[in-house]
Amino acid sequence: MEQSLRLNNEAIDKYEEASRLMRNDQHKKGSAIIAASFRKSVEIEQYFKAQAQLASDQTITDAKAFNEKFAYFNKLIQQKQKEQNDQYDEGKRFLLLP
């Protein structure tokens, strides 16, 4: 997970750098949107990490509480994945414009 976070942060930096170097405003916008989609990926990784830590959470005392928290993180992950996919697709569209 840590390597994935590091790689996502590197991708964010590269897309932001590319955005600053581009002359075409649409391409700049596309690159910036893709960088934002990678930020969503970082958020998703953090939710996965929090979800994995539920197993060792001393405050959870029964299966129902565990399942509720697990489902909560799962819902957040799914929501952020959709947002991330939408942003990436939008950014890609801007980058493909002439």
Distances (CA, A) of 62 to 3, 59, 82: 32, 9, 31
**Model confidence pLDDT, tens digit, residues 68-95:** 999 999 999 999 999 999 999 999 999 9
**Model confidence pLDDT, tens digit, residues 6-40:** 998 999 999 999 989 999 999 999 999 999 999 99
User: How remote is the C-alpha of 9 from its chain's centroid?
Assistant: 10
pTM: 0.82
Q: How confident is the model at residue 66 (pLDDT cuts 50, 70, 90)?
A: very high
The DSSP symbol for 61 reads: -
Q: How confident is the model at residue 50 (pLDDT cuts 50, 70, 90)?
A: very high
On the question of pLDDT at 2 being above 90, the answer is no
The domains of the chain are located at 2-96
Predicted local confidence at residue 49, as pLDDT: 93
Distances (CA, A) of 25 to 28, 33, 58: 5, 12, 51
Alpha helices of 1-98 — where are they, by DSSP H?
Answer: 2-21, 25-53, 63-96
Predicted local confidence at residue 5, as pLDDT: 87
